[in-house]
Amino acid sequence: MAMERLSMRKTREILRQKWTLGRSHREVAASLGLSAGAVGEALARAKRAGLSTGAELEALTDEALDALLYGTRRAPATRRPIPDCAHLHVERRRAGVTLELLHVEYLEKYPDGYHYTQFCEIYRRWVSCRGLSMRQVHRAGEKLFVDYSGKHPHYLDAATGERVQCELFVAVLGASNYTFAEATGSQRGPDFIGSHVRALAFLGGVPEAIVPDQLKSGVTTACRYEPGVQRTYEEMALHYGTTVLPARPASPRDKAKVEVAVQIAQRWLLARLRNQTFFSLAALNVRIAELLDDLNERTMRVYGTSRRALFERLDRPALRPLPTERFVYAEWKHCRVNVDYHVEVDHHYYSVPHALIHQQVEARYSAMTVELFHHGQRVASHPRSDARGRHTTTTEHMPKAHQKHLEWSPSRIVNWAQTIGPNTAALVSAILLERRHPEQGYRSCLGILRLGRRYGNQRLEAACARALLVSARSYRHVDSILKAGLDHLPLPEPAAQTSPAEPIPPHDNVRGPHYYN
């Protein structure tokens, strides 16, 4: 029965203890944890090889001793090539790339490499040593993570010297860690949406999804399962052809990318600004942009390359193209149409089609325009006005009667009256002249002219002649003349002038003109 092949270290120790120390087989076996037979076998092999002294033993290398005692040179253990785990981690972010595919490519390069199970185990150990979650593997162009920093930049008001605190908005792509940052005046809707628009312009493309925290500027209803996305935020996502996927409340691992990016921005942006002074938000952002370029060019230790290089290789080819126009921030408001077919938006009144009186509409208003929607369909659009309490009206929205009223003017009414007769024209002109403003006489004149449809132009002309004679200046008077048929009667002669009265005879009770002098 063949004995176990001993290591050269134990073989040398057996021979040393026997030849130099003169110990027994049992003593040597006990000290090395071997059997007495193993000790005897080693001595027998050394004797057959012609070895008998320690000096001869020292002159041999382990390989030479192994060849003498066992007859064959022990082949060194083969070392299989270790997969490049950093390369695997980056490649997994490409669309459709799996560990199985990467293993196939690994075997094409190293045919004697590890099998799939051990290949995956080596990669998983590499990932676990870096504290990364296996649950999140970020594909190229898939997600843009956004958040605000808890530490704030600031600038000094140039006029007062007052310290003005700002917000730091940070956005980072999942696959490449390519980062955007800027300072804004607040976290409110206009600043929040504006930062998104500028971030997408900075990237030059649109990711499949945007992952924000559940802050009020973007999420109206915070919920773990069905968060309510703010209307303007949702509209912005629709404009860019992406979607909003809010992170779960109190789940920082959902947006671990941006949590780390915020820390990096605080260290490599805000910390480098601590000894610098700025006198405007614009000047602050110019400096942040310079530091941001430096951050994206820095080599990351884990990946051995920069964020910009990874962005050009991974994310940029996968991003969707930007739309031709930037998104314009607008707010939404529910309105009820008043009886005058206008709705109030920011203390100004805008018209809608008159058929929508008393109905609910939605107003979308930006800095330049006001759009009104009914059941999702746009029914009106107006330039935005800052005139409080005033009206902006489109003629097409008015009823036909109101439209015709707008078309009337004094000259047009008088011209119509002249087609009926000179007396009608004279009466209409007198009515318009007596009113403080011509429009105050429009209704009266139009009512008189329309009496011709009922009684005929000839009777109307006669009635107007009688009205002029008795100084009647209203629709009501002409209507009464026609109803009573007075227009058929001849006009009364003008009253004859009486002769001057005879002087009053003197009397004691008559004081005379001298009394008043």
pLDDT, tens only, 111-141 = 888 889 989 888 888 887 765 444 456 788 8
- Residue 124 located in a structural domain: yes
Among candidates 224, 269, 262, which has minimal Cα distance to 145?
262
- Residue 514 located in a structural domain: no
pLDDT at 134: 44
CA distance 366 to 504: 85
> Is the Cβ–Cβ distance between 368 and 384 less than 8 Å?
yes
- Percent of the chain predicted with pLDDT > 90: 21
Tell me the Ramachandran region of residue 251: left when phi exceeds 0, alpha when psi lies from -120 to 50, beta otherwise: beta
The stretch 384-389 carries a mean pLDDT of 86
Same structural domain for residues 187 and 274?
Answer: yes
Looking at per-residue pLDDT, the higher value among 494 and 248 belongs to: 248
The stretch 228-243 carries a mean pLDDT of 87
Tell me the Ramachandran region of residue 471: left when phi exceeds 0, alpha when psi lies from -120 to 50, beta otherwise: left
CA pseudo-torsion sign 14, 19, 20, 24: positive
Domain-ending residue, one of 318, 352, 384: 318
User: Which range, 52-66, 373-387, 425-439, is most confident?
Assistant: 373-387
Domain assignment of residue 47, given as a range: 8-70
In the predicted model, what is the mean pLDDT of the chain? 82
Same structural domain for residues 167 and 273?
Answer: yes
The stretch 308-315 carries a mean pLDDT of 91
* pLDDT tier at 97, thresholds 50, 70, 90: confident
Number of structural domains (the chain) is 5
Q: Report how far apart the first and last C-alpha atoms of the chain are (Å, whole number).
A: 170
- Residue 65 located in a structural domain: yes
Which range among 48-52, 208-212, 369-373 shows the weakest confidence by mean pLDDT? 48-52
- Residue 513 located in a structural domain: no
* pLDDT tier at 224, thresholds 50, 70, 90: low
Same structural domain for residues 47 and 170?
Answer: no
Q: What is the DSSP string of 361-425?
A: EEEEE-SSEEEEEETTEEEEEEE----TT-EE--GGGS-HHHHHHHH--HHHHHHHHHHH-HHHH
Domain-ending residue, one of 296, 318, 340: 318
- Residue 325 located in a structural domain: no
Same structural domain for residues 166 and 282?
Answer: yes
* pLDDT tier at 515, thresholds 50, 70, 90: low
Instruction: Compute the half-sphere exposure of residue 158: CA atoms within 13 Å on the CB side of its CA.
Output: 7
Q: Please, is 441 exposed, middle or buried when counting C-beta atoms within 10 Å of its C-beta (0-12, 13-18, 19+)?
A: buried
Same structural domain for residues 162 and 249?
Answer: yes
The stretch 159-165 carries a mean pLDDT of 89
* Alpha helices by DSSP H, 22-137: 25-32, 36-48, 54-58, 62-70, 85-91, 99-109, 116-129
Q: Residue 289 above 90 pLDDT?
A: yes
Contacts 24+ apart (CB under 8 A), 268-277: 268/294, 268/295, 268/298, 269/168, 269/181, 269/295, 270/149, 270/151, 270/153, 270/168, 273/153, 277/155, 277/156
Instruction: Compute the half-sphere exposure of residue 313: CA atoms within 13 Å on the CB side of its CA.
Output: 15
Which range among 198-212, 232-246, 361-375, 493-507 shows the weakest confidence by mean pLDDT? 493-507
pLDDT at 285: 93
Same structural domain for residues 359 and 269?
Answer: no
Q: Say which DSSP state 320 is in.
A: B
Same structural domain for residues 292 and 429?
Answer: no
- Residue 516 located in a structural domain: no
Same structural domain for residues 177 and 245?
Answer: yes
- Residue 508 located in a structural domain: no
Q: Residue 55 above 60 pLDDT?
A: yes
Same structural domain for residues 149 and 272?
Answer: yes
Which CATH number is 267's domain given?
3.30.420.10
pLDDT at 514: 57
Looking at per-residue pLDDT, the higher value among 352 and 61 belongs to: 352
* pLDDT tier at 506, thresholds 50, 70, 90: low
Q: Residue 201 above 90 pLDDT?
A: yes
Helix, strand, coil: what percent of the chain each, to 5? 45, 15, 40
Which range among 19-23, 141-145, 164-168, 284-288 shows the weakest confidence by mean pLDDT? 19-23
Same structural domain for residues 165 and 297?
Answer: yes
Radius of gyration of the chain (CA): 50
CA distance 293 to 268: 11
User: Which range, 37-46, 77-86, 90-99, 478-487, is most confident?
Assistant: 478-487
The stretch 456-473 carries a mean pLDDT of 89
Same structural domain for residues 191 and 223?
Answer: yes
pLDDT at 6: 75
Same structural domain for residues 186 and 235?
Answer: yes
Q: Residue 73 above 70 pLDDT?
A: no
Q: Say which DSSP state 11 is in.
A: H
pLDDT at 401: 64
- Residue 3 located in a structural domain: no
- Percent of the chain predicted with pLDDT > 70: 85
Domain-ending residue, one of 351, 377, 399: 399
